[in-house]
Amino acid sequence: MKIGARVLKTGLAITLSIYASLLLFPNSSGALAGIAASLSTQPSVKKSFETFISRVIANTIGGLIAILMIYALGSSPIAIGVSAILTIAILNGLKLSDVIPLTVVTLVVIMLSSDTNYILAAFARVIETIIGVAISFVINLLIHPPKHDVQFFKTLETVTSEVLLLTRATLRKNTDFAILHRDLQWARKQMKQFNNLFNLISEEWIISKTERVARARKLVIFRYMGRTTQSAIDLLTTLHKYNHVYHDFPDETRTIFRERLETLMTAHEQIIMKFYGKVPPEAVNYMEMNRENRDEYLNMFFNEAKQQEETKEHHQFEANGVTHILAASFYYEENLTNLNRLVRSYKLHEHGQEYDSSHDELRE
C-alpha cells in the first residue's frame, strides 16, 4: 500500500472543507464540501486552478438551473431528471464536461432539499461546493506543490537505457522473441507515462516570465528526448518484427550495420550526458557519415533488398523487411542529430549550469 503526497493532501482537503462548511452553515452536513474537495485535487497546480474556475462556473450554473426548475416544474424525480439533462447539455456546450459529475450532484442535492427557501438553500449548497474546491486548490498550491521532474527523468533514463541494452542484445542474436515482445510492451507503457509526465510539467504554473521562457526552452529538449527514445523503440520493434531478415544478412552487412547502430546508441547516451553537463557542449560530433561512406552504406542495403527479392520465395516481404530496418535506423539517426543540435545550443547559450545544479539535486 502506497500513500503519497496527493493522497494525504486529498484527505486534509476533505477534513478542512467539512469543518469550514460546518462553520459557515451549522445545519449542513458538509457532505458537498467534502465531495468537492475529493474530486478537485489535481496532479498540477495549474490544473488545480483551472479546475477551481471551471467548478465555480459550473456549480453556479447548476444552482441557477435548480432554482428555475423548482419554480417551473417542482422537485419531482422527473423534474430532477430533466434538470440534469439540461445542465449536462449546457456544460457540454460550454466545454465544461470534466466538471459535470459534481455539478449534477449539487443540482440533485438542491432540488431534493427540504428547505422552504429554495434560493437560500441553493446558495448555501453552491457555496459549500466552492469551499471544497477552493480549499483543495489552496492546499495543492501551498503544501508540497506537485513536482514531476524526478519521476520524469527517472522514467526517461530507465526506458532509454533498457531499450539500448535490448537493442545491443538483439543485434548479437541474444534475445528471445517472446521475452523481447513483452519488453517492448513495457517500453511502450513507459513512454505513455513519460508523455503524461511531460504534459504535467508543461502545465506547471510559473509566474515569472523569465522562468517561463527558460521552461519553454527545456520543454523543447524534453520533447525531442522523448521523440528520440521513441524512435529507438520503433527501431527495436522493427528488428524484432523482421529478425529473420536481419539474421539472413551476410556477415559483413550485419557487422557494418551493428557497428553503425553501436555508434548511434553510444552517441545517444553521450547526448544525454551532455545535457546533464557531464560531456562538453561541442562534443559528440562523430555520428555523421561522409558522403562516400553513406553512399556505400545505402548501396549495401539496396543490394541486400534486391538479393532478397531475387532469392526468397516470399520476396516482397523479405525485401520490404530490409527497407523497414534501414528506414527505422535512419529515423533514429535523424532524431539523434536534431537532439544533439538542440542540446548543444541549449548548453552553450541558455544558462545550462543552473539546470545542472538543480538536476543534481533531483538525482540525489
CATH number at residue 158: 1.20.58
The tens digit of pLDDT for each residue in 233-252 reads: 999 999 999 888 888 888 88
Claim to verify: residue 196 and residue 341 sit in the same structural domain? yes
Claim to verify: residue 339 and residue 213 sit in the same structural domain? yes
Quote the pLDDT of residue 219: 86
**Cell 510492451, located at residue:** 185
CA distance 221 to 338: 10
Quote the pLDDT of residue 158: 92
User: Which residue range is the domain that position 327 belongs to?
Assistant: 149-363
Claim to verify: residue 188 and residue 121 sit in the same structural domain? no
Of 91, 117, 142, which residue constitutes the final position of a domain?
A: 142
Claim to verify: residue 233 and residue 284 sit in the same structural domain? yes
Cell of 188: 511502450
Claim to verify: residue 116 and residue 43 sit in the same structural domain? yes
∠ Cα 68 70 72 (to 5°): 65
Task: Tell me the one-letter amino acid at 135.
Answer: I
CA distance 202 to 218: 10
Task: Tell me the one-letter amino acid at 291.
Answer: R
Claim to verify: residue 310 and residue 183 sit in the same structural domain? yes
The number of domains in the chain is: 2
**Confidence at 43, pLDDT banded by 50, 70, 90:** confident
Claim to verify: residue 176 and residue 320 sit in the same structural domain? yes
CA distance 17 to 14: 5
CA distance 335 to 264: 11
Claim to verify: residue 305 and residue 226 sit in the same structural domain? yes
Contact in structure between 75 and 119 (CB atoms under 8 Å): no
Claim to verify: residue 251 and residue 281 sit in the same structural domain? yes
Cell of 108: 440533485
Cell of 281: 557542449
pLDDT at 32 over 70: yes
Claim to verify: residue 196 and residue 106 sit in the same structural domain? no
Average pLDDT over residues 194-200: 87
∠ Cα 325 330 331 (to 5°): 100
Cell of 5: 503526497
Name which of 40-44, 101-105, 203-207 the model is least confident about.
Answer: 203-207
The tens digit of pLDDT for each residue in 275-334 reads: 888 888 888 777 776 666 677 777 777 777 677 666 655 555 566 778 888 889 989 999
Quote the pLDDT of residue 269: 92
Claim to verify: residue 271 and residue 154 sit in the same structural domain? yes
Of 142, 174, 209, which residue constitutes the final position of a domain?
A: 142
Claim to verify: residue 100 and residue 208 sit in the same structural domain? no
Of 142, 168, 194, which residue constitutes the final position of a domain?
A: 142
